[in-house]
Chain A
Amino acid sequence: MGDMDKFRPNKKVILSVLGVLGVLIVAGGAGFGFRYLQDNNTDPKPITSFKGEPLPEDVEDAQNLRVAGDAEGSLKKIDDALADDGVSKTEKYQLYIQQGNAHSDKKDTTAAIASYLQAEQVSETYEIVSLLASMYEETGNKAKAVEYYKKSIPLIPDSPMQNRYKADAERKIEQLGGQS
């Protein structure tokens, strides 16, 4: 009891301890807050806004077959799917792209272009127009390549990469001797 009596903090000590504790709490809170702000910076969009949709099943299957080296199996799958009267416009568009890809895998650029053109008939998008531009460029058809690179620019969707896509298209046009 005597020792207890000896430890009697005075007011200054108490204030000092409280001050140190306050500094530590503020520092810890600052660290926490800093990390929180770092991780949740500038109005992040809700995660549910991410679609991340898979391709339609037939399209995915056809792509898997093709990537695995079975271009013929992929083409058959595509033909079967296209023969279905109930195929949607969106799926038809993607099937034609896969068909073109399969022909491209087989180095049949003529057939590939034909399929891509069919996709373009269904839906004229930056994706298909730029694909056609690349294919025409690959086959040495500079005029058509330039035409399609030019055609692709106004179709570039709003996206994080839109400036890069535009720059790439313009660079290609210039390389191919066209005027952007």
Chain B
Amino acid sequence: MKKFLLLAGAIGAFLAGYGASASFAAYPSGGIHGRGEHNGYFTNANDDMGSEVLRPVYDGESIRPDVNDADSFITFIKHTKLDIDQNGSGDARDKTGAAFIIHTMLGSSTSARSRPPTAAQIADWESRVRYLDSHGKVSWRINYSFTINSYWQATDGGGSNPNDDAFYDENGTKPAIVFRNMSNQVVYAIKWECANPVGTGNLGPVPNTPEFNMYGNTTASINGGSPVISGNVAPGDQVVWRHNLNNNSGPNSTSPDTVAWRVYRDSTILFSGNAGVFAAGTEKLNIQVENFTVPSNAAPGSQICRQLWFTPDTHVSGSSQYAVERCLTVVYNFDLNPMINVTVNGAAPSGGTAEVGDSIAYTYVVDNNGPTISQSTSCTIYRIDRAGSYAAPNPIDSASFPGGYTQPSTGCPRTFAVGNTNLVTETITAAANTTHCRSFFVNPASYGGGAQGVESCIRVVARPYLKVFGGDVLAGGGLETAPGTCSTNANAQVMAWNKRSADGFAGAGAQYAVQALNRIGDFASAQRAGSSAPAPASLSFANTSANTATGNFGGSFGPGAAPCIRDYWADKPATTQSFAGITNMTTGIYASSPNTNIAISGNINPNQRSVLYVDGDVRITGNIEYTGSWNLSSIPQFLLVVKGNIFIDSGVTRLDGNYVSLGDGTTSGGGIIYTCTKPPANQAEVVNPTQLPLGGTMYTQCDDKLTINGSFTANRVDFQRTHGSLKQSTSGEAAGSNAIAEEFVYSPANWIAQPPSAGQTSSYDAISSLPPIL
């Protein structure tokens, strides 16, 4: 009996010593699960050769191919390998391997590494696996790179061959079952080919099952709209951020913990608070509401974000968690309007026109009506140079004409800040008979929009002008119906082009007086009259309401103030010579057949004084000149008196004499002198002339200067010559200037030599000039 008691005591002492050793075994800190490389997980025995943690009995792999979810994995480890049912499905190696996997997934301490694991440990392990799988945190087969491998300290390769598993350093990439925590960081992996747990830096544990599941969410309402978790905003938009917390899925209350929260913008805490205890199934909306206005200077493409943080998240006194960050993206909100600012010679163009040789400057501008900077925008300029008059079509031109245009450098594609941006100025010289257009497109003109364009055109025009030397101009006098009796025309105006004060009132005008019953517009009087009567209105009748800066040089002399136009037809004698062409005339009075249109041209010889009466229209097909040399005693004279109209062919450049177109005495009855008539297309048109159509042809067909050494008297005169332009006029311009379109030179020869009257000629005995000279 004594010996038995001694033996029992010895056994007890042995076990006590064994247990004491285990309980105070102070494993060094560090390592993996408290073990150094090649040291057994359970026994700490060292053996550096081995093989797969689980037997590779599945076509060279150690994990059964049908393991693809928590249930199949748990069944495989717990039943097949750990052989919890003790049906012989797992051998000693498998049982150790399964326990190794379960304990390392749990992070069991060295003192808790029982083989097999306890029922509580297995239940905890199952719970964790199911929890991660239910949250999609398990990838059942995926390539995984690791730096730590493990092995079964097998019976081959020497060493102590304990039935244990150990870790060692090894880099590799193999298909594995990979477990992630709720932050999507890999926390555990098991290689398929060998069931070796592998990892990087550490290995396990996998997170334990939460006591509760706090969940945070943030939404944004944009401009009063429905809550969204993402979207686009523009500067000025109103955003309401709402932050919510819930413990909807429990399964337990957070009690005794209350849930603290913060709202972050990037790393800055904007708001913080405590939402109290959350019972299972509890949701608390709007724990914080923030009204926010997107700043006007918010950069497109930038994001405005809010993120809710809270603690505890899953366990009493547990860790914290960030809810998903919600961001709104600032989008572009721009409105680009392309503009072309055009100047002609540095000033705003008058009527959208320029003259030949003018400098036309197109400044390309983009106006961004905001409120944000634009996206990268392309800028395209097209040159459209069309002959004659041209108007921008609708839609505007989107191709150059003619081709071969290289647009000025705009710096595009580029962005445009809010406001106006001058891109570039293109300067050209105005070409004759051309409309210079430029179309300018920006693309995109708005966020998500298309192109926007604009087209500006400058017509290059001639501003031909009329000048009268040695005489006056009168408008408004009616045809005399009885001596000193006529109906004047209150609408009679003199309208022309004048440079106004810019260049001494150069351009259209008369050397002496100008009188009109209506307005005198841009037609100067007193040109070359001297300082005692400066242009442009000193000799304008009347000049009382002149405003020379606006081109009003006087006029409106008063109703009935104009003298009557003499009834030259009344002077026609009863007997005249038959007209057979100017070259066949001598001194005398001629008349053509009644009601017959005629065409005339030719010269008047020295000392020849002829009068021609025409009861019809007259077409002047060539110059009518006083030829040869003549002096005071042999001054030639030609007077044409026409009942109809006088048409002057475009090629006629000089007319000597006095030309009277009376019409029938009514305003609609002819009596018009046209200074440019289309060349006849056929014989019929010779005596029935066709008027030139307005448009491009007039500029090219009527560009010869017409000089009238004499006078025109008519119901109306249409001065149509396009020769020269106002731009070329100069102050003090004299007769004979090539810039003038139509020039009257009224010399004393016109009145010194009196036309014959009833076959007689007469002459002055004396001439004396008295002021005023008009």
Contact = CB atoms under 8 A, between A and B. Distances in A.
Contact of A25 (B11, B13, B15, B172): B13
Contact of B10 (A27, A40, A126, A131): A27
B185 interface: yes
B30 A47 contact: yes
Interface stretch (A59-67, A79-87, A139-147): A59-67
Contact of B14 (A30, A46, A54, A168): A30
Contacts of A34: 14, 17-18, 21
B324 interface: no
B322 interface: no
A94 B145 contact: yes
B51 A164 contact: yes
B168 A35 contact: no
A34 B755 CA distance: 160
A45 to B, nearest CB: 5
B171 interface: yes
A161 B170 contact: yes
Interface residues of A, number: 60
Contacts of B20: 28, 31-32
Contacts of A26: 10, 13
Task: Count chain B CB atoms within 10 A of each CB in A27, A60, A66, A101 and give the residue with the most.
Answer: A27
A148 to B, nearest CB: 14
Given A64-B184, A131-B173, A50 B36 contact: yes
A133 to B, nearest CB: 12
B168 A159 contact: yes
A125 B22 CA distance: 42
A42 B47 CA distance: 8
A55 interface: yes
Interface in A14-52: 20, 23-36, 38-52
B13 A52 contact: no
B18 A160 contact: no
B604 interface: no
B345 to A, nearest CB: 56
Secondary structure of the A side of the interface? helix
A105 interface: yes
Contact of A52 (B157, B166, B201): B201
Given A28-B13, A48-B30, A159-B170, A67 B47 contact: no
A79 B36 CA distance: 36
Task: Count chain B CB atoms within 10 A of each CB in A35, A51, A55 and give the residue with the most.
Answer: A35
Given A31-B14, A171-B60, A42 B46 contact: yes
Contacts of B153: 160
A179 interface: no
B700 interface: no
A27 B9 contact: yes
Contacts of A20: 6, 9
B322 to A, nearest CB: 15
Given A52-B201, A105-B143, A40 B44 contact: yes
Interface in B463-504: none
B222 to A, nearest CB: 26
Interface in B143-169: 143-145, 147-149, 151, 153, 156-157, 159-160, 162, 166-169
A63 B21 contact: no
B204 interface: no
A125 B172 CA distance: 10
Task: Count chain A CB atoms within 10 A of each CB in B6, B170, B178 and give the residue with the most.
Answer: B170
Nearest to A93: B171
B186 interface: yes
A54 B147 contact: yes
21 contacts: A24-B12, A27-B12, A32-B20, A36-B21, A38-B43, A41-B46, A41-B162, A42-B46, A47-B31, A48-B30, A48-B36, A52-B167, A63-B186, A63-B200, A101-B143, A105-B142, A128-B173, A160-B151, A161-B52, A163-B156, A164-B194
8 smallest CB-CB distances across A and B, nearest first, come from A54-B201, A31-B17, A32-B17, A31-B14, A47-B36, A35-B21, A28-B13, A31-B18
Interface of B: 6, 9-22, 25, 27-32, 35-39, 43-52, 60, 139, 142-145, 147-149, 151, 153, 156-157, 159-160, 162, 166-173, 178, 180, 184-186, 193-194, 196, 200-202
